[in-house]
């Protein structure tokens, strides 16, 4: 491999003494180390907010005088030195969980592929939960010292930004991403030309550039096709996430799967095992098979080889939600590929053929991944079971429980989602090393040591912070002059920091039933406007631009939000993203989730809430079915008969929701106050919730499970295969 040069797009002019701020800006390590943003805030807090927490923009725009002032500030310099010592220690650490647990595997490498990565709000290369999971997975892999490289896309526009019209209609705006403002490192060859890979699409070649993003110790490579080498259509390939156009979509997936393997090879990586996060990257199996077929192996043999080092995680519990392509499209795009694989057209299609409800056939990405991976899992216990049922037809001679799809329940990256003030309580009462012991149940038992009044003080502080932030956002929108007055009320300027506050934020897909709470409108009015014990609701979330029912659901919510009778206690926050998510999961009192079971494969926002002492109130679906123990939050509609028809079930679950809210949650919050004015029983629940959920649903626990249940075995298979090849050679 020739020399690869790494170039940062912007040269900052920084005083020498604090020059290494640049290194911090170009490694997302800072995202989960709050002492770094504090450095930027100390230099210029307003600019830090204005640059949307983006260090590259911040360092580009900051006033030289302020930087000079910082170099004369002892306090700042002490913090700066401490942060960099910590950064250096982290980056150079040889003694990690991975190296201690797998000393013989430290030269191996995991590859991780995903359509989207949610790492930070300033990097719009994610749409929602799947992306956040990928981002959190990389952060935790870095923390644990797992040798990993990852592959994804950087998009021209990213995911759309959301505005709500006065009438409650979602308007999608595609704002181009300014690449120079992102911590993307350009990869150049020895002649200074961008490193590129090429894939074959019908009648043409498509080139992609590769950008590097540092996520702690893990490197993420992002492909991008908007470059002069490509014709205008192909330049659009990496325009947006989740385009509905099937030709663009299959091209994207060929680029990610096949192009992604080529990108890693071009950069000199030889991963030992490969993890596909969801089916979008499943074409990587074909590229890997092709590598062996080109060396003279028969396709079936090649499959046997690559399978042992492929890992596939499915996230979709409904057949209709899975990625499938019509056969005419597969013919068009793969007619070149099957001869190369030594297959006939029919043999090729047969690999991933799925019957459609209308009787025809399609090519299924999850089937391709399931058949060509030896390790397969769903993302919660219930979802594992649903997936075994859904895919049983692929293993016709096995009983459902023996279908070889296991489960590893999702988790969240603790330090990304934890409020700083809660972290301070943990340091004080769980021990300074709490972050090293996240998955140790003994650690979390010590939550009992946190004094009630401190717990409550922090909870109240976080709610005030959320409300203050929402009022600022609402005021800013009002000042743009583009909103109707009632929209300013809808944006939350009448929120009260001392009222019981319920959060509901997620993608507006119809199965998530955001409108379940509106089913008995009058009862909701009574609950919300109870003069002695009022309740407020904060909603946020996007609908996919092509999802009309999802958009109608937003409209239904927005109309209620605007209804003067609620007195501004229902609120809709526009343009849900990781920043809003962080404020909400830290600041509200209760986190509500009302999916139609079992369609929520896992869900992760409730885990973020739980970590921060926010109580979950949810359908027993996905993760909450495992997390709920009767005391650490509330369930909705546990005893609902599975075979009940949809409308009847909605009605029963809504009724149960109102009853629990009115008879248990509201009184617990307002009435059970002890002599010192603290809601002692509420606080006890908050602690029980942290004790039982914070560790179990951490990314620490999750990534360790991936490591012990799948990665280790896949890596050992890879080593065995490599040794075999070397013997033959």
Ligand X SMILES: *Cc1c(COP(=O)(O)O)cnc(C)c1O
**Which positions touch ligand X (CB under 6 A)?**
128-129, 132, 506, 576-578, 581, 603-606, 608
CA angle 95–30–415, rounded 5-degree value: 70
Beta bridge partners of 698: 412
Contacts of 687 (CB under 8 A, 6+ apart): 447, 448, 450, 455, 613
Pair 315, 386: CB distance under 8 Å: no
Shortest distance, position 451 Cβ to ligand X, whole Å: 30
Contacts of 287 (CB under 8 A, 6+ apart): 257, 258, 261, 262
Shortest distance, position 129 Cβ to ligand X, whole Å: 3
Shortest distance, position 245 Cβ to ligand X, whole Å: 24
In 518-618, which ranges are continuous DSSP H helix? 521-529, 548-562, 578-587, 605-611
Q: What are phi and psi of 700, to 5 degrees?
A: -55, -55
Which CB atom, from 439 or from 577, has the smaller least distance to ligand X? 577
Which CB atom, from 199 or from 505, has the smaller least distance to ligand X? 505
Q: What is the DSSP letter of 589?
A: S
Which CB atom, from 569 or from 599, has the smaller least distance to ligand X? 599
Beta bridge partners of 310: 274
Shortest distance, position 32 Cβ to ligand X, whole Å: 14
Which CB atom, from 134 or from 717, has the smaller least distance to ligand X? 134
Q: What is the DSSP letter of 240?
A: B
Give the HSE-up count for residue 665: Cα atoms under 13 Å, Cβ half-sphere.
30
Distance between CA atoms of residues 137 and 276, nearest Å: 12
Query: How long is the chain?
Result: 729
Q: What are phi and psi of 673, to 5 degrees?
A: -90, 140
Q: Is 121 helix (H, G, I), strand (E, B) or coil?
A: coil
Shortest distance, position 579 Cβ to ligand X, whole Å: 8
Which CB atom, from 334 or from 634, has the smaller least distance to ligand X? 634
Cα–Cα nearest to 470, from 450, 495, 453: 495
Which CB atom, from 210 or from 585, has the smaller least distance to ligand X? 585
Q: Is 113 helix (H, G, I), strand (E, B) or coil?
A: strand
Shortest distance, position 501 Cβ to ligand X, whole Å: 18
In 202-344, which ranges are continuous DSSP H helix? 232-235, 246-254, 260-266, 284-294, 299-307, 327-334, 337-341
Shortest distance, position 594 Cβ to ligand X, whole Å: 11
Q: What is the DSSP letter of 104?
A: G
Which CB atom, from 133 or from 495, has the smaller least distance to ligand X? 133
Which CB atom, from 128 or from 627, has the smaller least distance to ligand X? 128
Which CB atom, from 127 or from 184, has the smaller least distance to ligand X? 127
Shortest distance, position 481 Cβ to ligand X, whole Å: 28
Shortest distance, position 577 Cβ to ligand X, whole Å: 5
Shortest distance, position 593 Cβ to ligand X, whole Å: 7
Q: How far apart are the two ends of the chain, measured CA to CA in Å?
A: 21
Which CB atom, from 315 or from 388, has the smaller least distance to ligand X? 315
Shortest distance, position 33 Cβ to ligand X, whole Å: 19
Shortest distance, position 139 Cβ to ligand X, whole Å: 13
Contacts of 509 (CB under 8 A, 6+ apart): 543, 544, 547, 550
Residue ranges with strand state E in 314-414: 324-326, 353-355, 361-364, 375-378, 406-407
Beta bridge partners of 377: 313, 406
Shortest distance, position 623 Cβ to ligand X, whole Å: 9
Which CB atom, from 129 or from 366, has the smaller least distance to ligand X? 129
Shortest distance, position 174 Cβ to ligand X, whole Å: 18
Which CB atom, from 620 or from 713, has the smaller least distance to ligand X? 620
Cα separations in angstroms, 217 against 135, 213, 463, 575: 13, 10, 34, 31
CA angle 123–603–399, rounded 5-degree value: 125
Pair 405, 433: CB distance under 8 Å: no
Pair 558, 490: CB distance under 8 Å: yes
Cα separations in angstroms, 338 against 204, 283, 295: 17, 13, 16
Pair 622, 600: CB distance under 8 Å: yes
Which CB atom, from 568 or from 606, has the smaller least distance to ligand X? 606
Which CB atom, from 125 or from 195, has the smaller least distance to ligand X? 125
Shortest distance, position 545 Cβ to ligand X, whole Å: 16
Which CB atom, from 278 or from 287, has the smaller least distance to ligand X? 278
Pair 341, 286: CB distance under 8 Å: yes
Q: Is 8 helix (H, G, I), strand (E, B) or coil?
A: coil
Q: Which is it for strands 196-201 and 185-188: parallel, antiparallel or unpaired? A: unpaired
């Amino acid at each position: 491999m020739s020399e690869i040069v790494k170039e940062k797009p912007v040269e900052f002019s920084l005083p020498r003494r604090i020059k290494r701020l640049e290194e911090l800006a170009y490694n997302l390590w800072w995202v989960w180390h709050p002492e770094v943003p504090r450095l930027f805030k100390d230099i210029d807090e307003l600019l830090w907010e204005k640059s949307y927490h983006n260090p590259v923009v911040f360092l580009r725009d900051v006033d030289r005088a302020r930087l000079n002032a910082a170099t004369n500030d002892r306090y700042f310099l002490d913090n700066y030195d401490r942060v960099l010592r910590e950064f250096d220690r982290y980056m150079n650490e040889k003694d990690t969980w991975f190296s201690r647990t797998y000393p013989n595997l430290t030269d191996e490498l995991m590859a991780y592929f995903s359509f989207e990565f949610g790492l930070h709000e300033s990097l719009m290369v994610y749409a929602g939960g799947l992306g956040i999971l990928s981002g959190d997975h990389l952060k935790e892999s870095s923390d644990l010292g797992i040798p990993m490289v990852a592959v994804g896309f950087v998009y021209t526009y990213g995911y759309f930004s959301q505005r709500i019209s006065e009438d409650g209609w979602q308007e999608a705006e595609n704002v181009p991403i300014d690449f120079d403002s992102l911590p993307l490192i350009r990869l150049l060859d020895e002649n200074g030309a961008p490193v590129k890979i090429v894939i074959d699409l019908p009648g043409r070649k498509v080139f992609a550039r590769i950008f590097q993003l540092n996520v702690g110790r893990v490197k993420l490579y992002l492909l991008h096709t908007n470059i002069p080498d490509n014709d205008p259509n192909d330049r659009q390939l990496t325009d947006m996430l989740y385009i509905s156009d099937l030709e663009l979509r299959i091209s994207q997936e060929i680029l990610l799967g096949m192009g992604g393997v080529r990108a890693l090879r071009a950069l000199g990586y030889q991963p030992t095992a490969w993890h596909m996060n969801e089916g979008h990257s499943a074409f990587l199996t074909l590229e890997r098979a092709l590598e062996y077929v080109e060396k003279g192996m028969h396709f079936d043999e090649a499959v046997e080889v690559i399978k042992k080092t492929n890992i596939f995680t499915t996230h979709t519990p409904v057949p209709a939600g899975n990625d499938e392509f019509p056969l005419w499209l597969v013919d068009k795009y793969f007619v070149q590929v099957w001869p190369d694989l030594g297959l006939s057209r029919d043999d090729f299609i047969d690999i991933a053929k799925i019957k459609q409800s209308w009787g025809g056939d399609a090519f299924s990405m999850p089937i391709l991944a399931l058949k060509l991976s030896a390790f397969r899992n769903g993302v919660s216990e219930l979802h594992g079971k649903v997936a075994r049922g859904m895919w049983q037809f692929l293993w016709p001679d096995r009983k459902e429980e023996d279908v070889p799809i296991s489960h590893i329940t999702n988790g969240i990256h603790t330090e990304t989602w934890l409020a700083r003030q809660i972290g301070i309580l943990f340091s004080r009462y769980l021990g300074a090393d709490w972050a090293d012991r996240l998955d140790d149940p003994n650690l979390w038992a010590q939550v009992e040591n946190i004094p009630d009044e401190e717990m409550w003080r922090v909870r109240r502080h976080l709610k005030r912070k959320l409300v203050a932030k929402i009022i600022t956002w609402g005021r800013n929108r009002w000042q743009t002059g583009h909103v109707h007055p009632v929209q300013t009320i809808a944006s939350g300027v009448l929120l009260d920091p001392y009222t019981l506050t319920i959060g509901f934020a997620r993608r507006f897909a119809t199965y998530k039933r955001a409108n379940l709470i509106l089913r008995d409108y009058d009862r909701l009015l009574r609950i919300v406007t109870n003069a002695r014990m009022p309740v407020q609701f904060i909603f946020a979330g996007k609908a996919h631009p092509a999802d009309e029912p999802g958009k109608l659901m937003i409209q239904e919510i927005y109309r209620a939000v605007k209804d003067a009778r609620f007195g501004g206690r229902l609120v809709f926050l526009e343009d849900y993203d990781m920043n809003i998510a962080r404020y909400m999961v830290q600041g509200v009192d209760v986190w509500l989730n009302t999916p139609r079971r079992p369609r929520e494969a896992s869900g992760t926002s409730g885990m973020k809430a739980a970590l921060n002492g926010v109580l979950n109130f949810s359908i027993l679906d996905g993760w909450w079915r495992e997390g709920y123990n009767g005391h650490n939050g509330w369930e909705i509609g546990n005893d609902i008969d599975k075979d009940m028809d949809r409308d009847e079930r909605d009605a029963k679950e809504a009724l149960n929701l109102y009853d629990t809210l009115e008879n248990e949650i509201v009184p617990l919050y307002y009435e059970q106050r002890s002599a010192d004015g603290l809601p002692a029983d509420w606080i006890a629940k908050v602690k029980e919730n942290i004790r039982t959920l914070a560790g179990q649903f951490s990314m620490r626990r999750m990534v360790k499970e991936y490591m012990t249940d799948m990665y280790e075995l896949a890596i050992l298979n890879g080593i065995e295969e490599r040794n075999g090849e070397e013997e033959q050679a």
